[in-house]
Chains A and B, each alone.
Chain A
Amino acid sequence: MRHTRVSMKPSSHPVDALLRVVGVTKTFAEVTALADVSVDFHAGEVVGLVGGNGAGKTTLLRLLCGLYRPTDGIVHGHVGEKRVEIHQMREHVGVVPEATGLYARLTAWENIRYHSRLNGIDDDMAWTRTERFAKLLNFDEDLHRSTRGFSRGMRQKTALLRAMAHGPRILLLDEPTGGLDVTSARMVRKLVRKLGDEGGTVIYSTHNLAEAQQVCDRIIIIHNGTLRADGTPSSLMKKTETDSLEEAYVALTEDVSRTGETEVEGRFSRAWRRLMTRGGEPDE
């Protein structure tokens, strides 16, 4: 098994890093979802988290937005010169989870406004930002429609606008183009690239290598819970002496992918579910 680590150490100038992940391990019961991962995220970068199913991308994103606490290691951020805990960064972070998580009985704008109010942003400011980005996504006509019956693309656009309405410094996107049609996916990619060009920081999880190469300044490859590579698409190809990002990815992740869920239930939850399902899972 060949592991080529292009760069694994956090930046030597940590204050520049908006988010720092230092020696983080995350385990769920007996499964290690992430093992000793260290990585920095800087202002103005569009970073692609690339990896197969169950590689640990979502776990890393959830650690970055404070949904998970590391089993070992530290995740923290910087606001100016000040080092802050990750949960104190939340108002600077916008998140689009894989399940868009929209309320069906609210309109798209009401969904967005609810989150922006919780982020402490007044409605006028949130509306100004939402309207601007909605036009870019060709979605401004649909803002006052109920989200019930929205297509996957419309839901994704709403979730994206919701994540951006409070003007976050960092956007965390979990598979933002998954399940989208070509046009919608293209619009999302264009918006992400525009945000990056305007100085925003976007951390973007995907298993679409072509998309990552097209959108991202920097690519982090995660495989079986470990960080395998971190660099620009061209540097990854150069280091692995390959002609495409896909070949570089294959070279960096030659060992067999682990199977099954990485995030298993706790003992209590398992017992609870067994009780509820009278006897547990068929494969147990």
Chain B
Amino acid sequence: MSDIRLRIGRVLEVARKELIDFVRDWRTMLAMILVPIMIFPVIFIALPLFLQSEQAEIAEHQLIVEIQIDEEVPTGLSEHLEGRNLIFSEVELVEQGTLSNNTLDAQRLKSGVEEDTLHAILRLRQTDSNASESWDYAILSDSTSELSREAKARTLEGVLAWEADVINTTLAENNLSRDEAFDPIHWDGDQNAADLASTGEKAAMGLAMFIPLVVALWTATAAIQPAIDLTAGERERGTLEALLCTPVARADLLFGKWLAVATVASVSVLGQMGGLLFAIAFLAGDAFGVPSITTTGVVLLLLSVLLFAVFVVAIELAVAVRAHSVKEAGSILGPMILLFIGPTLFAQFVNLQGIENWWFAMPVFNVTLAMREAIMGIHDPIHIVLWVTTSLSYAIVAVWWASKQFNREDLVESLS
């Protein structure tokens, strides 16, 4: 018993020292704790603000559009264009063929866009029809220029608004309303009111597609740097040899290191999830709805995240132990992330309705699907038993394999 206590004490001492080492490294704290916590709130605050300011900036521009037409610009159209911060000039339509053909004006428009003197060309030609009015039109623009794109968008808006007026006038002349003509069979009332799922449940469903990816990506990524630092890094710096000379069993050293990396990776990924939930609940709740997750769901989600971290960290440690240098470890662990992200991505498309039990026994898939079920409030006891036991088994096998690697005799040698 005292032997076990001694061993546990040593494992905890190793983990404690490694955690102190992490905490004292501001780069690790920044990359592993601060960035994951802040990334989603910053994205949810900064990105909309940035997009709004960019939109406002471009909206302030007065854009120049040339209207090529054989006759007077219809009053209805000019009214719609004037309200859109456009300066337009009228010229005679020269194009005799298809209006989209840009051969005649391409060069002139291109240089106009470059010199900021012309941003788009609207071509209009009246056609024969039974409607009150009928026109062919085309808008020439340069899609690689932001201002030309914006000029096209504003012109198109004006044309479509004018078109709506023309349709309404034609329908009115025939004693029809727009709904009668275009929506004779229509939904009665609010479509959302007919959905049994609450806004929170729908938000949770959306989150279920997102969280497993975030967890897989961030856990696998977050664990790489500390896993390398504590193994290949120690080997390269020569600190491992002295450590291996202490009476601590190598398996206990590995367990201590694994505990430290798993703690850091878990804190990192939980911090990121916390940041994401905060961002959704308080910053973007109006847009997405606040997800409703049961307490059991939260507990199962946390458990699955922890088990995933345990598993991933053990594998990454084992691989990093084999490497002779930090560079070598990095070059193999970087691409290895795909082994975790690939199945996670695949698992997003697995139908949870009537899902076969064996999915919950497959590594990586099991935890990913468990996260989805936990968030969506599906608590199937068989699934839970399966993913908990298999995840634990995989984690134990991974840790055992890592400890086997840690027993290698060449561990004290490095390429440096």
Contact = CB atoms under 8 A, between A and B. Distances in A.
Contacts of A102: 239
Given A97-B242, A118-B246, A105 B10 contact: no
Nearest to B415: A273
Contact of B20 (A93, A96, A106, A159): A106
A272 B247 contact: no
B242 A159 contact: yes
Q: How many of chain A's residues touch chain B, expressed as a range?
A: 35 or more
A15 B37 CA distance: 61
A95 B245 contact: yes
Interface in A143-170: 159, 162
A114 B246 CA distance: 10
Nearest to B238: A99
Contact of B332 (A106, A117, A276): A276
Contact of A118 (B13, B332, B410): B13
A118 B410 CA distance: 22
Contacts of B410: 263, 265-266, 269
B331 interface: yes
Given A265-B410, A273-B328, A97 B238 contact: yes
A90 interface: yes
Interface in B248-291: 248
A152 B36 CA distance: 38
Contact of B244 (A67, A104, A105): A67
A162 B415 CA distance: 25
Contacts of B246: 90, 115, 118-119
Given A118-B10, A118-B14, A273-B324, A95 B413 contact: no
B248 A118 contact: yes
A225 B2 CA distance: 42
Contacts of B6: 120
Contact of A103 (B13, B21, B324, B415): B21
A162 B332 contact: no
Chain B interface size, as a band, is 20 to 34
B299 interface: no
Contacts of B17: 103, 106, 114
A142 interface: no
A67 B412 contact: yes
A62 B24 CA distance: 32
Contacts of A119: 246-247
A101 B17 CA distance: 15
Interface in B397-416: 409-410, 412-413, 415
B240 A272 contact: no
Contacts of A265: 410
Nearest to B18: A103
A110 B409 CA distance: 27
A71 to B, nearest CB: 10
B241 interface: yes
Contacts of A5: none
B261 to A, nearest CB: 16
A72 interface: no
A61 to B, nearest CB: 10
Nearest to A88: B247
A67 B242 contact: no
Interface string A214-248: 00000000000000000000000000000000000
Given A118-B10, A269-B324, A273-B324, A97 B245 contact: yes
Interface of A: 62, 65-69, 87, 90-91, 93, 95-106, 110, 114-115, 117-120, 159, 162, 172, 263, 265-266, 269, 272-273, 276
28 contacts: A62-B412, A67-B244, A67-B245, A95-B245, A100-B242, A101-B239, A101-B243, A102-B239, A103-B239, A104-B237, A106-B20, A106-B24, A115-B243, A115-B246, A117-B13, A118-B14, A118-B246, A119-B247, A120-B247, A159-B242, A265-B410, A269-B322, A272-B328, A273-B324, A273-B328, A273-B415, A276-B323, A276-B328
Counting from the closest, the 7 A-B pairs by CB-CB distance are A99-B238, A101-B242, A90-B247, A95-B245, A101-B239, A118-B246, A97-B241
Interface of B: 6, 10, 13-14, 17, 20-21, 24-25, 237-248, 322-324, 327-328, 331-332, 409-410, 412-413, 415
